Structure 1
Amino acid sequence: MVLRGWTAGKRLRQLLVFVHVAVSVGWLGAGAANVVLAMTAGYTDRPDVRIVCYLMIEKIDDFVVIPAAFASLAGGLVLCVVTKWGVARYWWVLVKLVLTVAVIGYSTFGLGVWVEENRAAGGLESPAAGPLAYGAALNLVAFLFMTWLSVAKPWGRTPWTGPARRVSVPVYRGLAS
């Protein structure tokens, strides 16, 4: 879907892509930091280290992950609307959209709950430590897959877009005799 025949000019498109990539890389980096913290907390014997790791995950989530996730989603949707890619014209765009929403939902209703359970354990071992660590790693795999999709752009068009339209150019036939 393009705004009634309007598409973004080159400079605006470049700016939007830059912002989208920058926020998405921030989201990926924060996700990687959370993997390291969750693994450290899950495999240490020191309660004080666990407490600090879970506190840091919570802070990274509040100040980086959540804003970056929604900024990435919004930026991706804006790019879909103002460029030729559309929201559901190409499989790679549609898969990235579904994965982004899925990762946000999983992070909220899975990882977020497990962080709270681990924080509530007060530094003691928690059964939620393993799911948190491996769940955060799963998010990282999803981020890397979405990055690959952006570069490779696989699978072509979705069936809902119809065939590519060809632009016909009028042919000059000379003066009529």
Structure 2
Amino acid sequence: MVVVHVVASISWLALMLCLLTLATTALTTNDADTVRTAYRAMGLLGDVLIIPLSLVTLVSGVVLALGTPWGLFRYYWVSTKLWLTLAATVASMFALTARLHDAVHAVARHPAGPISAMDLGFIRYNVVIVPAVALLLYLANVILSVFKPWGKRSDGRSAGGQQRR
């Protein structure tokens, strides 16, 4: 399960790097064919990989937490990773895929012609911002996994072992 979790997590992070690279290329070029190709590739990658990678990462992380001494809620860093991964999964499945579809539909409406004729508006920035934020979130999870900050959560017992009232 550790291997599944690590491979899925790294793949999800790599997917965001790929999307960010394609989005940055599309943002900084004046070549309309490059923009069209980048957005189509982003749509394809997103449609095929976002949902499986996000769900496998989330589910394998929960299974690992439940099957190890770390637990889901025993340590602050594990709980934080759970909530960050859950938020990233939901955001990836809805916000990111929606932005990618917006970009794909925008270039599909204009199969030829210059960039100025495409009417891309804020789409060019959205498809850079969303993967960049996701990448930062995944990097935060990596940092939490490596450094394991904050220690163990209180289990409701005092120093003498008595249950708090």
- TM-score surpassing 0.5? yes
1:81 equivalent in alignment to 2:75: no
Partner of 2:115: none
Deviations for 1:17-41, whole angstroms, at most 9, x for unmatched residues?
1221111111111111011011111
* Bigger mean CA offset, 87-96 vs 109-118: 109-118
Contact 1:37 1:57 in 2 (8 A): yes
Partner of 2:37: 52
Distance 2:44 2:151 in 1: 40
Deviations for 1:63-94, whole angstroms, at most 9, x for unmatched residues?
23321111010100100111111111111111
Partner of 1:68: 53
Contact 2:50 2:93 in 1 (8 A): no
Compute the TM-score of the two structures, normalised by the length of structure 2: 0.82
Distance 2:142 2:5 in 1: 12
Q: 1:109–1:150: structure 2 CA closer, same or farther, 3 Å change rule?
A: same
Q: 1:112 aligns with which of 76, 84, 97?
A: 97
Corresponding pairs, count = 149
Partner of 2:8: 23
Larger helix percent:
2
Distance 2:136 2:157 in 1: 33
Q: Aligned-pair RMSD on alpha carbons?
A: 1.9
* Bigger mean CA offset, 18-27 vs 62-71: 62-71
Partner of 1:3: none
Q: 1:164–1:19: structure 2 CA closer, same or farther, 3 Å change rule?
A: farther
Partner of 1:154: 149
